[in-house]
Structure 1
């Protein structure tokens, strides 16, 4: 199931946007759309444990606008695709600075929204096929790439540690082999003992990366220039 949140305080526009989405969703796809009139109510739903994959949000929303909401999502739920639906073109530049996946001007919604929604749905489907099987004491478990926050192996340690949204896993392997087998641009080596998932970085300050689980990871001097370049490239594309 793909869960979509639509945040729009105008009830007439809510119906128009939702209808535009529903026309693009295929009968074979399991998609649920929840509608919110305020960003605060949507955030409360997240805090209560509801999972969302895509958020379509207006910018002008009252006490907590779409820009402020996007900042919270980037820090705590960076895997959510944020799409602004706005009547004001001046918000487009700021939305890219916040890593919003896209923005849609309401006057062009009928043309652009279906295209962007399809692109994101297809991307989510591809992501669900990317996972790693890790052995545990009671068997094996499927760990999705998108849920891996960072991977590390201390000097002389036998096991590689996978720190994920759902807990920690261990695997007897080398970090170099893991990188080669992942073969994924989302994973970035920041020093000889650590790989991070770019999707779970919410800030970089100086030579320190701040991850979504609260971990602060120093970047080695030899990797710093490349790491900053890769992060900037990724954030500018998203």
Structure 2
């Protein structure tokens, strides 16, 4: 069961999830964040006592930051973090642990930070102030996609890739919530999005750099498990865009 708080009024810009099977730890972490409320305007926090509850909520709520205990029953923090990364490779994860050896696992999955529980009150405020600033610097953009009678408001970050099938007038937007179709050209799609994070990989396909998991030869593997082939003429430029994107993050 999640408990929710708004630190300030206004629209939610940043969603933070805290996961720990000990209620006292959840309250302590939440209290630390509330004490930093001057730095946390327009932030929303949810707390979860079970990893399973967080993963279910993550299907519909876009969390940018996850703070989690490592040692939890049923699904531990490392396993939950990997599942969260499968859903959104750009989520920032901070692990809390009472055991130094768990830090090695957190590094292997490229967690943003790990914090020993004995150091949490000292280290978490500074880390969160820095991380909130990083997230805020990435402005959230929305667009409307779909048919004239069924428009959907979509966060651009949640669009994984876009394809126009040969011989059809419709373009498909593959998103974290499923497929949406619109009668629009690829050129007009790019004009609508106006973002350097979307790159053309062939004449009929555009991918979101945020959702690229790996590239093998000219095949691009995406966060939803789909794969898109880049043309031989474009693959070199695509790889350059990917490298530049990750260097700037």
Task: Tell me if structure 2 keeps the 8 A contact 1:154–1:193.
Answer: yes
Gaps of 5+ in 1: none
Kindly indicate whether residue 212 of structure 2 is the aligned counterpart of residue 201 of structure 1: yes
Distance in 2 between residues matched to 1:109 and 1:71, nearest whole Å: 22
Do the aligned partners of 1:3 and 1:31 also contact (CA within 8 Å) in 2? yes
2:31 is aligned with 1:31: no
Q: How many pairs align?
A: 230
Q: Any idea what SS the aligned residue of 2:234 has?
A: helix
Aligned-partner Cα distance in 1 for 2:215–2:94: 23
Counterpart of 1:172 in 2: which secondary structure? coil
Matched, 1:176 2:187: yes
Other-structure match for 2:203: 192
Distance 1:234 1:13, change over 3 A: farther
Task: Output one character per residue of 1:128-163: Cα deviation in whole Å (capped at 9) or x when no partner.
Answer: xx1223462326543321221211224454343322
The 3-state SS of whatever aligns with 1:222 is coil
For the residues of structure 2 that align with 1:68 and 1:62, how far apart are their CA atoms?
Answer: 11
Corresponding residue for residue 128 of structure 2 = 113
Range with bigger deviation, 132-141 or 70-79? 132-141
8 Å Cα contact 1:86-1:103 kept in structure 2: no
1:91-130 equivalences under 5 Å are: 95=106, 98=109, 100=111, 102-106=112-116, 107=119, 108-120=123-135, 122-123=136-137, 126-127=139-140, 130=141
**What CA distance in whole angstroms lies between the structure 2 residues aligned with 1:177 and 1:62?**
49
- Within 2, Cα distance between the matches of 1:93 and 1:206? 31
- Aligned Cα root-mean-square deviation (Å): 3.5
SS state of the match for residue 237, structure 2?
helix
Which residue is equivalent to 2:18?
6
| C-alpha distance after superposition, 1:145-198 (max 9, x if no partner) | 12212112244543433223343121333x234334423132122222211112
* SS at structure 2 position matched to 1:220: coil
Q: TM-score, normalised by structure 2?
A: 0.71
Aligned mates of 2:190, 2:143 — CA distance in 1 = 12
Deviates more, 1:90-99 or 1:54-63: 90-99
Match of 2:7 in 1: none
CA contact (8 A) 2:26 2:47 kept: no
SS of equivalent to 2:125: helix
- Does residue 32 of structure 2 align to residue 17 of structure 1? no
In structure 2, what is the Cα distance between the partners aligned to 1:140 and 1:45? 24
Change (3 A) 1:176 1:46: closer
Structure 2 segments unaligned to the other structure (5+ residues): 1-11
SS of 1:158's equivalent in the other structure is coil
Alpha carbons of structure 1 residues 212 and 111: separation in structure 2 relative to 1, 3 Å? closer
